[in-house]
Amino acid sequence: MVKLSPQHISPRPPVVVVMGHIDHGKSSLLDYIRKTNIVDKEAGGITQHLSAYEVHHERKEPGYAKSITFLDTPGHHSFSKMRARGAHIADIAILVVSAEEGVKEQTKEALAIIKETAIPYIIAINKIDKPNANIERTKQNLAENEIYLEGFGGNVPFVPISAKVGTGVSDLLDTLLLVAEMEELKGNSSLLAEGTVVESHIVPSRGTSATLIITDGTLKKGMFILAEDSLSPVRSIENFMGKNIDDASFSSPVQITGFDIPPRIGASFHAYSSKKEAESARALMKENPSKQATIKKDSRTIALSNEAVVVPISIKTDVAGTLEAIEKELGKIERERVVLKIVATGIGSINENDVKLATGAEGAIIIGFNTKIERGAQDIAERFKITVKSFNVIYELLEWIESELDARTPKSLTEETTGALKVLRVFSATKHKQVIGGKVTVGSITINAQVKIMRRDTEIGRGKILELQQQKIAVKKVDEGNECGMMVESKIKIVQGDVLESFVMSEK
């Protein structure tokens, strides 16, 4: 690797993550910044799955112009791991808080992640254009949650904004760059590039592609990238606009295509001058036990029944980050008599091979997310009655899985006690019919009910109530605390002091 060259050390643009509670305006803020600060709007637009982009912001002070790299992280709770990873990659965080609602659950979650990573952050008090906005109340609410703003007993910068109309957004970017200057972020362009994988997916007809954030050094065509055990030649470099470039340096998001296996999201990558150097580094990594993935311990909170039904499931998604989020959510689903078993995962469309593999597992399900089902795969699935479903909304996917598990859960009949009667007197008895009197002590007793005959807390037999009277009047039901007479059909002789427990069979 090239030695440090002080003449090549220079300030680098900050990498920024925007976090906060769902619906507080993270996406609106990112959209506004992207639309108003990306100069080159004719380069084909932003690649759909590129999870980062650069903006160019002209500071109010003359002579200042800076680039900022924004990480675009999903808001739904299912993607919490992706949000956490974003904060670990970023230099600075923007925590968006609604001026209407103040601090909410995901605000607290985001703050915990920010504090864990120990990166500086700025509060963006959003939605100040709304009728119910109250900036002072929001400041107080932030203080109640141990977020102390500048001028209010703390040192956390804040900017009131409206992401919808753009009010205050320029001031927010100014503040962001001031914080970046204070952090003295530096990079060395003479080094070979290193950084983090922020996304990976399969590009049809091209192969496995990954979005990378370069945190130091320079990446050039002809180099080789190693991200853990995933290797790729750098034949071409695409910037966040999808435009081919010859090289890229620190803080830049780039897309590289040609990885032999999809790199893990969050993995560190390093560039090498030759394939031989990259392969040697990979071989050394595989030999080092400390680099091996740790086995995840079973975190079930509900004991699994011995008769539990296993539902095999295969998952295909458009990008690796989404696959990770779906696996996490499915891992939370716990049932006593049915269990999901992920047997295969992948990135890309659902193909014939996916379905053929599923035919070997009884009752298998194939789930796709933001990906299509190839025609040949659909035909095989119909022939072998394999369930294949595709979704583009994670809520709907999880709801469907829950309902499918409901349908596949083995049903069992259980006895549910509805009432109890203490026998006070036995009036008469024939071969299989006995007339008795008693008092209802629990619940209610109804005509035609099945009863268990209990003697000293032990069941000695069963019977059925044929007739029921209260004050010599035929009734259908007698409630707790009342005395009654009844005719019970049973082969067991009932005696004074016995308890009759009525029950119904319920399916669970």
pLDDT of the residue at 433: 93
For residue 52, the model assigns a pLDDT of 80
User: How far, in Å, CA of 426 to CA of 79, rounded?
Assistant: 67
Residue 19: φ, ψ to 5° = -130, 170
What is the per-residue pLDDT for 50?
41
pLDDT of 419 > 70? The answer is yes
- Can you count the helices (H) and strands (E) in the chain? 10, 30
Mean pLDDT of the chain: 85
CA distances to 79, 219, 252, 290, 436 from 195, rounded to whole Å, are 21, 10, 10, 20, 84
pLDDT by residue (tens digit) across 78-129?
Answer: 556 666 666 678 899 999 999 999 998 888 888 888 888 888 999 999 999 9
Q: Is the pLDDT of residue 204 over 70?
A: no
Q: Name the nearest CA neighbour of 237 among 229, 228, 245.
A: 245
Residues 6+ apart with CB under 8 A from 93: 16, 17, 18, 19, 87, 110, 114, 119, 120, 121, 122
Per the CB < 8 A criterion, the answer to whether 272 and 232 are in contact is no
In angstroms, the CA 227 to CA 210 distance is 10
Count other Cβ atoms within 10 Å, centred on residue 150. Answer: 13
**pLDDT 10s digits, 466-507:** 999 999 999 999 999 999 999 999 999 999 999 999 999 877
Lowest mean pLDDT among 293-302, 312-321, 355-364, 448-457: 293-302
Least confident of 206-220, 226-240, 299-313: 299-313
Q: How far apart are CA 53 and CA 34, in angstroms?
A: 8
d(CA 224, CA 233): 4
- Give the model's pLDDT for residue 259: 92
Nearest to 197 by CA among 119, 249, 255, 273: 255
Residue type, 131: P
Provide the whole-model pTM. Answer: 0.62
| 401 dihedral zone (left: phi>0; alpha: psi -120 to 50; beta) | alpha
pLDDT of 60 strictly over 80: no
Tokens for 397, please give them: 């996917």
- Asked whether residue 409 carries a pLDDT value surpassing 70, the answer given is yes
Percent over 90 (pLDDT), the chain: 45
Q: From 119, 254, 252, 269, select the one nearest 183 (Cα to Cα).
A: 119
Grade residue 42 by pLDDT with cuts at 50, 70 and 90.
very low
In order of their start, the domains of the chain are: 7-186 (3.40.50.300), 189-291 (2.40.30.10), 309-408 (3.40.50.10050), 413-507 (2.40.30.10)
- Asked whether the beta carbons of 185 and 10 are under 8 A apart, the reply is no
pLDDT for 48 equals 33
pLDDT value at position 81? 62
Mean pLDDT of 395-424: 89
Q: Which of 3-7, 117-121, 154-158 has the lowest mean pLDDT?
A: 3-7
Describe the crossing of helices 320-331 and 394-408 by its angle, rounded to 10 degrees.
40
